[in-house]
Structures are given as C-alpha cells and as structure tokens.
Amino acid sequence: MHFKIEKKLKDSLGRAGVLTTAHGAIETPAFVPVGTKATVKSLLPEEVKNLGAQVVLANTYHLYLQPGDELVAEAGGLHKFMNWNGPIITDSGGFQVFSLGAAYGKDFSKIIRGTEPTVQIPECSSAEDGVPRLATIGNDGVSFRSHIDGSLHYITPEKSMEIQHNLGADIIFAFDEATSPHENYAYQDEALSRTHAWAKRSLEYHHSKPNKNTQALFGIVQGGLEKDLRKKSAEYISTLPFDGFGIGGSYTKEHMELTTRLVNEILPEGKPRHLLGIGEPEDLFMGVENGVDLFDCVAPTRNARNGSLYTKNGKINITNTKYREDFSPIEEGCGCYTCKNYTVAYVSHLFHGKEMLAATLASIHNLYFIINLVKKMRQSILEDNFFEFKKEFLKEYLK
RNA sequence: GCGUCGGUCGGAUAGCGGCUAUUCCAGGAGACUGUAAAUCUCCCGCCUUCGGGCAUCAGUGGUUCGAGUCCACUCCGACGCA
C-alpha cells in the first residue's frame, strides 16, 4: 500500500491524495460504501462501480458468522467471492463490541444527541448490570452471542486478524473496543488500555504472516469523549508501525469534530486516516477539513432503503404524500442513473408498493450523492476553493 | 313468507356483562452515522391550555349498579327451506 498527498488545504488539516492498494488506487478523500455481508445491499457490483465508488467496506464479524471466513478463502477471497475487483476494506468486528454490547437494545448509537456530552448512564459502566447484550468484553477478547443462531463465539485480536486474512481485503483494521459514550472515565481509560494492547497484538500477528505484504493494517484510535484519552490514544497508536489509522467511537457531533481535529493533529501526516462510520454531508465536510482521507457509513444505503433521500436542499422522505404526483427527478440535474431515468412519483410508487426496485433506485441515488459530494470536496481542495464550496453547499443543504 | 347465522375505525379482525374496545393491513409523520435495520417509533372518531375532555360497536327501545356483549322490534347482508 502506498499513500501520496497531492495537495494540502491551507490553514487546516485537509488534504487530497491517492491511496494505492493491491487492487487499485483510491483518490482521497473518498467515501466508502458499506457492504457488510459482502454486498452493498440491493446493488450489483457493476452499479456500485458505475455510481462512482472506488472501494467498498465489508465486515469481519458478519462474514465470520456467515458464510464463514474459511469458505470465503476457499472461494478465492472476498474480491472474487463478491465479484468486486477494486479495493476492499474490512472492519475488524470492533464496532460490534459496541453495537452488540453496551449499545444493545439501547436508544443510542454512533452519534449521540444532546449538547451535554458528558451525560453518563452509570449502569452502563458494568457488564454485570443485568442488561441483555450479545457481546461481553474480557481483556483477552470478546465473547459474542451470534445474533443469527445464538451460538457463542470468542474473538481475540489474533482471531480478527486471522479472519481478515482469510477474507483478504486490501485494508484491514486492528481489533478494537468501541465504547459507549455513557461509560465513565475509569471505564474509558480501562477500555483504551485494552484497545491499545489489542492494537499491538493485531500488529504482531499480522506482521508474522505473509499477508502483511498484500494487506495493509490500520490501527484505531479510541478514547471516548475524553480529550486526554483521545490524545493519549493518538500518540500511542502513532508509535506503532501501522499502514494507516482509523478513528472510532460514538460521540456528539460537537465532540466528533473536536476529536477528529485533535487526533489528526497527532497522527503522522504521511499515512491515511479513516473516520469510521461517518457520515452525513455536514460530517463529511468536517472530516475532510480536519484531515480525514476515508469515510465509510451505512447512512446512504440504509436511509435509501427507508425512503430518506439526499438532495442539495436536505433529505426528503419520498413516502410523503406530496411526492406521489411529483413527476420531476429526485434532484434536478443529478447525474445518477435513478434521476436520469425515473421520477419521484415512480420511486414513491415503488416504496408504497414495497417493490424491491425502490431500495435499488434509492440506494443508487443516495450513494451517488454522497460519493460525488466527497469527490467534489476533493476537487475543491485541488482547486483551492474548499471553504467556498463547503459554505455554499451547507447553506442550501441545512436550509 | 318462515328459519339460521351475521352487522365493531377506510378494510379485515378480537371482544361473549365490568372500568382505557384488541390486533393486522391501508393511511399520516418522524427517526436512522465502522448494518441485530427492505427496520424502528409515534399518530390514525372529535376537541384539547397536552393534564385531559367528549363521543362511539347498524338503529330504536328495554333488562341491569353497569351493555359492543343479554332481551324485543326495525333496518341491512349472507345462507337454508318453501
């Protein structure tokens, strides 16, 4: 893997570059569509490629459970298995420590609401609080109760690496613990020590295998909402010989920005940075401005399936009554396949009729919108007008 | 004409003497950020100062402390017998 910075943004951390992987180059900053189970939901790989995606992200935990990483290896690896010849990234399963653990059955997720970031739910600090969860954390690894069949699985940093080696993505991630923002400081500190120890173990395992030559390994910075822990994490992870870095966690938007800036000021400039699980248009601007090179997020595809579509004037809910007789495209002038060929009324009809094509056409539009938005950000960096572009876009988008 | 069932929100249902009339669909709105997600939440008779208030189970009477529920008749719909 090779990363080259082409141009830096003045007075900020932003930059445009090219990341070359074993399966091709990625012009950064770039948005990475999520295909958790080795498929970007509702889309053919050809469509994903045609709408402008350069790379996709699949999930270690899900593929390990089904169909199994060894089967994928037997099939010739993820690229061949899912018929995607471009770059692939796999997440380590670290996010599932959070989503199936502390966040299981709760009403909070990746982005938390409210302006008070230090809100703590004390009972979350203990795994023995009787609250049901599918992931239980130990210092050596994490026990997962399969959400598919209830079977018990134990994933360690080494196991995550082994699975990711079998899957064969171009970029893989160290196994980490994404913590709940509601945990107290003591827990965040303890969890961070674990993430750091696991980062080292992930790296050692990876470097002991020939896969190190074809697969790049990214380390992950955690630290919750605590500034000093984030700093500590960025500093420690920076010292390890990772090929690039991920920034993970769950936070308020305000904290995400502070964290991204703080962390990227510390991470080595010459290596790529991936802001995990982000985001919405305004978040992507924030990330790019603060030195993020890669983003992945389920938002465009999940929102699409749920009828929420991006337009330059904000998101619309296409199932609303007012769109039933709207014979214009979702967005006037949009270059996506859906907008070039179909009307809002038609897509609305597909949603009301619960037709599968609704998800496909909506996903094409949303992914095109987001991928293209980040491409325009890249272009604006190269043309020295990022801030003007940002201001203009957000003025219309956020109304 | 006689008899037997039935008539509960836009549709389909539950309810078989007891307080707030069930559930599903349709309809309306919202949420969703390293995918437990083609999912979830709320609303869906009228009014409301969001505390609640007032209606309501084909209709009209009646029995009862209390009726969607029991009784009588009327109207409507199925079926059966003439």
DSSP string across A356-383: HHHHHHHHHHHHHHHHHHHHHHHHHHHT
CA distance A29 to A295: 8
Q: Are A309 and A188 members of one domain?
A: no
CA distance A208 to A165: 12
* Residue A195 CA distance to nucleotide B49 C1' (Å): 54
In which domain, by residue range, is A325 found?
301-399
Q: Are A263 and A189 members of one domain?
A: yes
CB of A220 within 7 Å of some strand B atom: yes
The two structure tokens encoding residue A249: 């966690």
- Chain A window 323-352: residues with CB closer than 7 Å to nucleic chain B are 324, 352
Q: Are A234 and A309 members of one domain?
A: no
* Residue A38 CA distance to nucleotide B64 C1' (Å): 68
In this structure, the strands spanning A30-33 and A56-59 are unpaired
CB of A278 within 7 Å of some strand B atom: yes
The two structure tokens encoding residue A395: 């003025």
Q: Are A28 and A54 members of one domain?
A: yes
CB of A39 within 7 Å of some strand B atom: no
CA distance A264 to A60: 26
Q: Are A249 and A139 members of one domain?
A: yes
CB of A36 within 7 Å of some strand B atom: yes
Buried b (16+ CB within 10 A) or exposed e, A227-236: eebbbbbbeb
pLDDT < 50: residue spans in chain A = 116-118, 120-129
Q: Which bases along strand B come within 7 Å of a protein CB atom?
A: 26-40
CB of A17 within 7 Å of some strand B atom: no
| pLDDT in the model for residue A130 | 53
Q: Are A175 and A312 members of one domain?
A: no
| pLDDT in the model for residue A107 | 85
Q: How many CA atoms lie within 13 A of A310 on its CB side?
A: 26
Question: How many other C-beta atoms can be found within 10 angstroms of the C-beta atom of residue A354?
Answer: 8
- Chain A window 87-106: residues with CB closer than 7 Å to nucleic chain B are 91-92, 94-96, 98-100, 104-105
| pLDDT in the model for residue A190 | 96
Q: Which residues of A are designated catalytic?
A: 91, 296
* Residue A58 CA distance to nucleotide B21 C1' (Å): 49
Q: Are A9 and A72 members of one domain?
A: yes
* Residue A28 CA distance to nucleotide B33 C1' (Å): 20
The ipTM, to two decimals, is: 0.92
In DSSP terms, which residues pair with A154 in a beta bridge? A143
Q: Are A117 and A224 members of one domain?
A: yes
The CATH code of the domain that includes A126 is 3.20.20.105
CA-wise closest residue to A195 among A227, A222, A162: A222
Say if CB A216 and CB A148 are below 8 A apart: no
| pLDDT in the model for residue A128 | 45
The total number of structural domains in chain A stands at 2
Q: Are A227 and A321 members of one domain?
A: no
Q: Are A200 and A290 members of one domain?
A: yes
Q: Are A310 and A292 members of one domain?
A: no
Q: Are A21 and A160 members of one domain?
A: yes
| pLDDT in the model for residue A105 | 87
- Chain A window 159-198: residues with CB closer than 7 Å to nucleic chain B are 173, 176, 178
